[in-house]
Amino acid sequence: MKIYISADMEGIAGVVAKDHVSSTGRDYEKMRKYMTCEVSA
């Protein structure tokens, strides 16, 4: 069985600013880790 998961960063807990989802934002790497944890949960 194959499963495809699609997620966007705007939907995760903790995202409250554009810097969180912009690849040039100062908190982007931190939010990437949050997203990985939420999708894996």
State whether residue 4 is helix, strand or coil.
coil
Query: What pLDDT does 7 receive?
Result: 87
The phi-psi region of residue 22 (left if phi > 0; otherwise alpha if psi is between -120 and 50; otherwise beta) is beta
Q: What is the pTM of this model?
A: 0.71
Residue ranges of the chain with per-residue pLDDT less than 50: none
Cβ atoms within 10 Å, residue 28? 14
The pLDDT assigned to 1 comes to: 95
Domain assignments of the chain as residue spans, ordered by start: 16-40
Q: What is the pLDDT of residues 30-39, one digit of tens each?
A: 999 999 999 9
